[in-house]
Amino acid sequence: MLVTDIITSDLTEKQIWGRRGKKLVRKYRCMGGKRKGRIVANMAQCFAAPNMKARMSMKKTRARLGARMARKARRTKRTNPASIASRIFLPELNSSFILSKIKTFASTAIPIVKTIPAIPGNVSVAWIRLNNAIINIMLHTSAILAKIPNIP
Give 120's pLDDT tier (boundaries 50, 70, 90).
confident
Q: Does 89 fall in a domain?
A: yes
Residue 70 belongs to a domain: no
- Rounded percentage of the chain residues whose pLDDT exceeds 90: 23
pLDDT-based confidence at residue 30 (cuts at 50, 70, 90): very high
93 and 42 part of one domain? no
Question: Distances in Å between the alpha carbon of 52 and those of 49, 57, 121?
Answer: 9, 8, 71
How would you class 11 by CB atoms within 10 Å of its CB: exposed for 0-12, middle for 13-18, buried for 19 or more? middle
Check residue 125 and give its pLDDT: 61
In a domain, 73, yes or no: no
Enter the pTM of the model: 0.37
How confident is the model over 88-102, as a mean pLDDT? 61
Instruction: Please check whether residue 20 lies inside any domain of the structure.
Output: yes
Q: Is the residue at 130 inside a domain?
A: yes
- Answer whether residue 120 is part of any domain: no
Provide mean pLDDT across the span 109-124: 64
Q: Domain of 19?
A: 3-47
